[in-house]
Amino acid sequence: MPLRLLRFALSKEHKEPRFFRERPELKDKYDAVIIGGGGHGLACAYYLARDHGITNVAVLEQGYIGGGNTGRNTTIVRSNYLTPEGVQFYDKSVKLFEELSEDLDINLFYSTRGHFTLAHNESSLRTMRWRAEVNKHYGIDSEVVDRQAVHEACPPLDLECGGQNPVMGALYHAPGSVVRHDAVAWGYGRGADERGVEIHQKTAVTDIKVEAGKVRGVQTNRGFIHTDTVISMVAGFTPRITSMVGIDTPIEIHPLQACVTEPMKPWLDSIIVSGSLHVYVSQSSRGELVMGASLDPATLHSTRSTLGFVEHLSDYMLDLFPFLSGIKVMRQWAGMADMTPDFAPIMGTTDIEGFYLDAGWGTWGFKATPVSGKTMAASVAAGRNDPLIEPFRLSRFADFQLVGERGAASIGH
Amino acid sequence: MKLLNCPHLGARPENEFTYGGEVRVQPDPDTSSDAQWADYVFNRQGRPGTHHEWWYHNPTGIWFIAERDTITDRFLRIELASPERLKEAGHG
């Protein structure tokens, strides 16, 4: 037993340092207020403090940190997107993730697995060749492989898929990884706290005060805060925040469900995705299969999960892996995904001075945690959009300049 | 299985229905500005509440306009799609 544990056993006071300080009072004024204490919000606070010296910052979280979509995703990190804008953005995120355990001094269990997106028909293969060429152009390790390569990487996978949807090949992305998502939030939270940022849990924003097109402050359930800068990083709650400042967006909320099986001995070391079968699956370091499927078809502001979801997912999982028929599903849950029409995020400045939006994270937000924090912090510090996020600005819809990323989404659609 | 209690068809399994999105009233393409058109094409009422929505019943091919609470997922009103109903439901 480590001595550290023994010390706790003998001590009446548990002095193990907390990840961040409990702040009893809200201050009257902050230089910046971040709404949402998930990965994105805490990462933004961390980079504001570390890279730009802006430390008089409050992160307001209505629940507890990392309790929203940061803790509800299937933890996959990859950069094999379809558009040049998306590929460069997510590539930066993967690079930040690879260094993040050391940067934050916390073991994130960052585990590079290799990521297979299966093709079951010619049109999927065609999109994959397209993706691979865009990826390679930007230096991303990404290639189309044949079904034999899939078999060698994952022998238990039934390449015939029960005869209905035989695997014809796959897009292989070697840097594809999984990472412990809670620790990403904790690590960023601790790093931000150490640099003076205040993290306030159970603090809900009820209104945002705007005067003459400028942000003046936020009303919370614990009182009013004066500030000229508000950054909304609330994923599925985005429409409630944007309606406080009167901004219209294309965002609609759909539940995205996921589940895990009981733990098994390790047998799956790669990440397997099939858009046609509405499945993505990896095996966690605890041995559970972490599985996701497709969005619920109708909008819903709820994190309820359904039997129908598990039935459909199991159906397709058994096409891929028939030997799992005796394995039990242990837990299921849902997150509220803030979907955009082009499957790309909405980031940066808005028509309201001092109001910044980091939203539209739909089903692709977790993997962007480091880069969104870094680029949003840079945009806030400079007062204009970082070049990397300029294509994702809210005004792209009014300009009819969409970033069509739908073909690179893992979720079924 | 979740049942949808439709006043026109009776109680039917919810998976017989397909969600068709929010009811929007199309502005006149000849007179609307680019901004109005972009607003119509892209922007949606994303916040929770009672939404007016298109729902399609696959077996019968009937389109409905429904009012649904998007927090509780309860249908409050289901009507056949008609020009009058469309006008009433439209926010535009």
Q: Within a domain: residue A141? A: yes
Output the CA torsion sign for A168, A311, A279, B43: positive
Average pLDDT over every residue of B59-76? 95
Counting the structural domains of chain A, the total is 1
Q: Within a domain: residue B8? A: no
In the predicted model, is pLDDT for residue A79 greater than 50?
yes
Average pLDDT over every residue of A122-130? 93
- Token digits for A190? 């601790």
A312-326 pLDDT, tens per residue? Answer: 999 999 999 999 999
Work out the minimum CA distance from A387 to partner chain B, whole angstroms: 24
Asked if A397's CB is within 8 angstroms of B43's CB, the reply is yes
Q: What is the CA radius of gyration of chain B?
A: 14
In the predicted model, is pLDDT for residue A149 greater than 80?
yes
| Angle CA A357–A345–B40, to nearest 5 | 85
Phi first, then psi: what are they for B23, rounded to 5°?
-75, 120
Mean residue pLDDT across chain A: 95
What pLDDT sits at residue A28? 97
Q: Within a domain: residue B10? A: no
Smallest CA–CA distance from B72 into chain A, residue: A302
Nearest to A32 by CA among A276, A232, A274, A290: A232
A337-367 pLDDT, tens per residue? Answer: 999 999 999 999 999 999 999 999 999 999 9
Q: Within a domain: residue A272? A: yes
Asked if A253's CB is within 8 angstroms of B1's CB, the reply is no
Nearest to A251 by CA among A346, A383, A319: A346
- Which residues from A are below 8 Å from B when comparing CB atoms? 238-240, 242-243, 248-253, 297-302, 304, 306, 308, 338, 341, 397-400
Q: Between β-strands A198-200 and A57-60, what pairing exists: parallel, antiparallel or unpaired?
A: parallel
Average pLDDT over every residue of A224-248? 98
Q: Are A366 and A69 in contact (CB under 8 A)?
A: yes
What pLDDT sits at residue A130? 94
Residues of B in contact with A341 (CB under 8 A): 42
Q: Within a domain: residue B38? A: yes
Q: Between β-strands A169-173 and A177-178, what pairing exists: parallel, antiparallel or unpaired?
A: unpaired
Q: Within a domain: residue B9? A: no
DSSP code of B25?
A: P
Q: How many CA atoms lie within 13 A of A228 on its CB side?
A: 6
What pLDDT sits at residue A3? 74
Q: Within a domain: residue A229? A: no
What pLDDT sits at residue A1? 60
Of residues A301, A308, A398, nearest to B71 (C-beta): A301
Q: Are A247 and A351 in contact (CB under 8 A)?
A: yes
Residues in contact with B71: Cβ distance below 8 Å, sequence separation at least 6, in sequence order: A300, A301, A302, B48, B49
Encoded amino acid at A134, one letter: V
Q: Within a domain: residue B6? A: no
Average pLDDT over every residue of A89-102? 97
Q: Characterize A327-357 residue by residue with b for buried, 16 or more Cβ atoms within 10 angstroms of its Cβ, and e for exposed.
A: bebeebebbbbbbbbbbbbbbbbbebebbbb
In the predicted model, is pLDDT for residue A14 greater than 80?
no
Average pLDDT over every residue of B31-49? 95
Encoded amino acid at A193, one letter: D
Q: Which domain holds residue A159?
A: 114-174+252-339
Asked if A240's CB is within 8 angstroms of B70's CB, the reply is no
Q: Within a domain: residue B83? A: yes
Banded model confidence at residue B82, pLDDT cuts 50, 70, 90: confident
Q: Within a domain: residue B5? A: no
- Token digits for A315? 């159906």
Q: Which domain holds residue B70?
A: 18-25+34-89
Q: Within a domain: residue A260? A: yes
What pLDDT sits at residue A164? 85
In the predicted model, is pLDDT for residue B89 greater than 90?
no
Asked if B38's CB is within 8 angstroms of A308's CB, the reply is no
Q: Within a domain: residue A7? A: no
In the predicted model, is pLDDT for residue B8 greater than 50?
yes
Phi first, then psi: what are they for A407, rounded to 5°?
-65, -15
Residue A223 to residues A55, A208, A215, A233, Cα–Cα distance (Å): 21, 12, 17, 20
Q: Are A337 and A253 in contact (CB under 8 A)?
A: yes
Kindly report the CATH number assigned to the domain that includes residue B43: 3.30.2270.10
What pLDDT sits at residue A76? 96
Nearest to A31 by CA among A211, A184, A175, A217: A217
Nearest to A42 by CA among A51, A34, A50, A54: A34
Phi first, then psi: what are they for A259, rounded to 5°?
-155, 165
Work out the minimum CA distance from A67 to partner chain B, whole angstroms: 19
Q: How far does CA A13 lie from the centroid of its chain? A: 37
Banded model confidence at residue A214, pLDDT cuts 50, 70, 90: very high
Kindly report the CATH number assigned to the domain that includes residue A328: 3.30.9.10
In the predicted model, is pLDDT for residue B92 greater than 50?
no
Q: Within a domain: residue A151? A: yes
CA distance A289 to A283: 4
Counting the structural domains of chain B, the total is 1
Q: Percentage of chain A with pLDDT > 90?
A: 90
CA distance A311 to A324: 14
What pLDDT sits at residue A412? 55
Average pLDDT over every residue of A286-291? 96
In the predicted model, is pLDDT for residue A11 greater than 90?
no
- Token digits for A93? 């995120």
Output the CA torsion sign for A136, A91, A410, A260: positive
CA distance A166 to A122: 11
User: Chain A contact for B35, CB < 8 A?
Assistant: yes
Average pLDDT over every residue of A196-200? 98
Smallest CA–CA distance from A243 into chain B, residue: B47
